[in-house]
Amino acid sequence: MKVILNKDVKHLGEEGDVKDVANGYARNYLFPRELALPCNDMTLAFFESRKAEIEAKKAEKRATAASLKDKLEALAITLVMPAGNNGKLYGAVTNQTIADELIKLGFEIERKRIELPGLTFKSVGKYTVTVKLYESATATLQVVVEAQPHAESSSSKPVRQERHSRRHEDAAPEAAPETAADAE
């Protein structure tokens, strides 16, 4: 069934596009949500009258993508992650990690638009990430993964030993009075 998209639909097309979709998809999903209209002479004429408006929206999206591309390519993200002495990360840097960091910097980019070579980064180093923007526009983003300082992680072991030694100190004085009471 041929339909004309009334709004942008993910994985299908943009407003004003004529697409051939399954009958059930059109009747059960697109039409009830007013995402599309059936393709006929009347709807074609309606969208021809709105063609200038639709093209203006697309041009605005392209301009926004171009400015976002310039901002992202000028940006270098530094992530500090826990790592071993050999530079291998205890976790991994994923596209979600980078998306969260971009949100902190004020960029709203879906994690699905961020492409990492090899899906994850599992060691310390410098990486190049591709971010898909509007249509065929893509931006390259520099990501630097650094290891956390080791001083923080080594301080937890002496605390455990102190607690352990306190238990033994507390138990020893209790035992001493009992033996003194038994001796009387």
Q: What is the CATH number of the domain that holds 25?
A: 3.40.5.10
90/39 Cα distance (integer angstroms): 54
CB 129 within 8 A of CB 115: yes
18 and 84 together in one domain: no
Q: What is the CATH number of the domain that holds 128?
A: 3.10.430.100
64 lies in some domain: no
87 lies in some domain: yes
74 and 16 together in one domain: no
3-state secondary structure of 39: coil
Q: How many residues are recorded in the chain?
A: 184
Model confidence pLDDT, tens digit, residues 44-93: 888 888 888 888 888 888 888 788 788 887 888 888 888 778 878 787 88
131 and 178 together in one domain: no
73 and 112 together in one domain: yes
The total domain count for the chain is 3
Q: Which residue in this structure is represented by tokens 């002479």?
A: 41
117 and 172 together in one domain: no
2/37 Cα distance (integer angstroms): 9
63 lies in some domain: no
Position 137 scores a pLDDT of 75
Whole-prediction pTM value?
0.55
CA 42 to chain centre: 42
Q: Work out whether the CA dihedral 6, 8, 11, 12 comes out positive or negative.
A: positive
CB 87 within 8 A of CB 124: yes
Model confidence pLDDT, tens digit, residues 89-134: 787 888 888 888 888 888 788 878 888 887 777 778 888 888 887 7
87 and 142 together in one domain: yes
78 and 143 together in one domain: yes
128 bridge partner residues = 142
81/92 Cα distance (integer angstroms): 8
| Domain extent at residue 175 | 154-183
80 and 137 together in one domain: yes
